[in-house]
Amino acid sequence: MAAPAPSHRAVARDVAKFVHDRTPLRPRVAMLLGSGHASIANQLKEKVVLPGDDLPGAPLHSPLLVGLLEGVPIAVADAPLAIYEGLSPAELALPVRVLKALGCEVLILSAGAASLSQQIEPGMIAVVEDHLNLSGMHPLIGPNDDQLGPRFPDMSEPYSREWQEIARDVALRAGIPCLPGVFAAVAGPSMPTRAEYRFLRQAGADLVGMSLVPETIAAVHAGFEVLALAGVTQQLSAGKSAQVSIEAMIEAADLAAPRMASLLVGIVAASRDR
């Protein structure tokens, strides 16, 4: 009979020790970035790169970076693989729990998204103020470890209002187009149908994507303050075709990426005063 898999608490503890043995930095801010990762990685000072496969329990699918950004110790990794890659709920929760074990207090998430709002245009950055979990995936399914978080975490305000205000203030001062929105998570990998887009709009969604929400739920469970940012790659208008060219999406993503990186740097700089 195979040995049982180690608990998330044990894996997170072992990773924290592994990281702490290799750098004196103790990150306060954690980032799981689907947008802006390369720029942030290049700006880190005193950077330590820890391949995901080298970490005890191999909890990450990409390297974990620890370093200083604007003088603030942070931990950065690529966003976890999307739901459509076949990950289990537990696999989506583990990276968040590892980052919490490092001592991080704030988790910043970023991803691409399609806009369902006439005000949120391609190339803009949206600050997620709430979400709809329509992914069919919940990272807390299964036995609960009370030392990781409560069985029934309160999700009435999953995204920190204070960090939303900081993000919008930084964007305003930097001249970055930025608006709040409700994010709907779907499983993918196919894009929603026209009927599904209509349903999402009627349900109150301003944005739709294939990530962010499972990680947010795991983060709230773990006790993180959460900030989520979406780089808008396409805009879907009522009554029009939902088809958008890949070229147009890439162009919008290229426009949003430097804005995302600039916003992330400004947010981290602002965190020094908290």
> 119 near 179, Cβ under 8 Å?
yes
Name the nearest CA neighbour of 263 among 134, 144, 161, 177.
Answer: 177
**pTM, entire model:** 0.93
Of 99-103, 190-194, 217-221, 264-268, the one with minimum mean pLDDT is 190-194
Where do the domains of the chain lie?
8-271
* pLDDT (mean) for 173-187: 95
Q: In 10 A of CB 149, how many CB atoms?
A: 20
**Is pLDDT of 112 > 50?**
yes
HSE-up of residue 64 (Cα within 13 Å, Cβ side): 26
Q: What stretch of H or E contains 45?
A: strand 45-50
pLDDT range class, residue 6, cuts 50, 70, 90 = low
Name the nearest CA neighbour of 222 among 119, 156, 274, 148.
Answer: 148
CATH class as words, domain 8-271: alpha beta
pLDDT of residue 1: 32
Angle at 194 between CA 121 and CA 256, to 5 degrees: 20
> 242 near 193, Cβ under 8 Å?
yes
pLDDT range class, residue 4, cuts 50, 70, 90 = very low
